[in-house]
Structure 1
Amino acid sequence: MRTIAIGDIHGCSSSLCGVIDYAGINEEDTVVTLGDYVDRGPDTKGVIDTILDLRERTRVVSLMGNHEIMMLEARDSAPALARWMGEGVGGNSTVASYEGESLQSIPGQHWEFIEGGLPFHESESHFFVHANAASHIALEDQDPFMLFWEKFRKVPAHRSGKIMVCGHTAQKNGVPANLGHAICIDTWAYGGQWLTALDVESGTYWQCNEEGERRSNNVSLHLDA
């Protein structure tokens, strides 16, 4: 059984369908999606539909991203809505994908998915967060800013002895940023690069883009990097 992490999707449903197929994800796998399903890309609705469908076929663990946080805030606050719909955030693309003009166009099942994102996930050998984690603090005690907003930097290995898998910080060259004890797999799918799906045990990763192109490679993950 594999554990496969998928980086920031940001409305790129074609890329998501591509990596699910290319990686051969099946009912024996566990899929961990790292958050930021919404905004910027063309098809947030299609992304969430695809993940909900995937949940019918295999185990999917979905994390919360900072863009889901902003979307939930936008639902409850007019100033937050204005920020979310503003230039650079991408909320307007999310609303447009539902063929509506407001958040009322979004169905309840999709709101439940967005609300249900987890702050982190752990396996025996890895832990998964959207953005980052302070190396000296237990996951359940992490500051929310660290989990959802902090950029990926050359942090020390986490005290748990587990490898960190995260997204959030776009790698604009389209290649995962690998420190050995930590890896960032946000490879700028919405910006014209790639969506990455990583087998965290083998280090094999599969990438697809919105043009339908595919490629794969391998990284070495180990705590003595």
Structure 2
Amino acid sequence: MRLYAIGDVHGRLDLLAAMYDAIAAEIARDGVADWRIVHLGDYVDRGPDSKGVLDFLIDRRARDARVLCLSGNHEQGLLDFLEAPSATGLFVRFGGVETARSYGVELTAGSIEAGHSALAAAIPAGHREFLRSLPTSASFGDFFFCHAGIRPGTPLERQQARDLVWIRDEFLLHAGLYEKVIVHGHTPGTAVDIRPNRVNLDSFAVGSGRLSALAVEGGAKRILEATVEAVSQRAATTP
């Protein structure tokens, strides 16, 4: 089996579509018999087209069960806002304005209640169902996939959902090996961060214009990137 893990998208549908083109081309070229694509969460907020990203992922997951989507803290933040709107919550403070705009809704600090009502009406039921359906982890072979990381000292099967989507310093600062290599996102960096015990695929797509993925097949491991240049090339070749 060939595994692809894709880092934080944050509304960059252009980069996500370019990444899928690259993966599809590899699979066709190499005649891969079996594969999985694992998304590590944070599909919404900050970037320009969160709605488009969710449409894309819902469609791809429905067409092929080998596409796996995990939850990130920003998906949780959107669900929390829909449940109980707050001007101080994650959604409003960290990119929810852009998410709302992708649904045709303007969300401002002075009109949170009105914005919440408009957004709740604008988000399709299928998007809510998708967000609620997302698991917080997946495991294949020697690799464990989650959005944020794991709590050191706790067995993988006993990890708490909140840690899997929110943990940061305790996980990032732990130098010891885990039961498996942890493949995660959540903490943006200027490039993919590869350590003996973990791989961070959050290359800040929304700001860097670079979406990163890890490909694993047997003992071979490599990094793929979808860039704004790839998006331009894709646009030039699309009828």
TM-score range, shorter chain: 0.7 to 0.9
Quick check: 1:14–1:212 contact (8 Å CA) kept in 2? no
2:208 maps to what in 1?
192
CA displacement at 1:84 relative to structure 2:
4.3
Q: Which runs of 4+ in 1 moved over 4 A?
A: none
CA displacement at 1:213 relative to structure 2:
5.7
2:136 maps to what in 1?
119
Which of 163, 175, 198 is residue 182 of structure 1 equivalent to? 198
Q: Aligned residues, how many?
A: 208
CA displacement at 1:51 relative to structure 2:
1.3
Task: Please state if 1:153 is matched with 2:172.
Answer: yes
CA displacement at 1:10 relative to structure 2:
0.4
Q: Any idea what the Cα deviations from partners look like across 1:21-75, whole Å, max 9, x if unmatched?
A: 1123658321110010010000011111211222214511111100011111101
1:96 maps to what in 2?
101
- Letter paired with 2:195: L
> Structure 2: which 5+ runs fail to align?
28-32, 107-118, 233-239
- Letter paired with 1:95: A
Q: Any idea what the Cα deviations from partners look like across 1:197-217, whole Å, max 9, x if unmatched?
A: 211332222111345469xxx
Task: Please state if 1:61 is matched with 2:68.
Answer: yes
1:219 maps to what in 2?
none
Counterpart Cα distance in 2 of 1:187 and 1:193:
9
Counterpart Cα distance in 2 of 1:50 and 1:213:
16
Percent sequence identity over aligned pairs = 34
1:170 maps to what in 2?
188
Q: Any idea what the Cα deviations from partners look like across 1:101-130, whole Å, max 9, x if unmatched?
A: 423211011111111111111112111010
Which of 72, 79, 85 is residue 72 of structure 1 equivalent to? 79
- Structure 1 length-normalised TM: 0.84
Match of 2:172, SS? Answer: coil
- Structure 2 length-normalised TM: 0.79
Counterpart Cα distance in 1 of 2:36 and 2:227:
22
1:209 maps to what in 2?
227
Quick check: 2:7–2:39 contact (8 Å CA) kept in 1? yes
Quickly say closer, same or farther: Cα 1:28–1:50, change in 2 above 3 A.
farther
Quick check: 2:151–2:167 contact (8 Å CA) kept in 1? no
Task: Please state if 1:28 is matched with 2:56.
Answer: no
* Higher mean displacement: 205-214 or 2-11: 205-214
Question: Which structure has the greater CA radius of gyration?
Answer: 2
- Letter paired with 1:157: L
2:57 maps to what in 1?
51
> Structure 1: which 5+ runs fail to align?
215-225
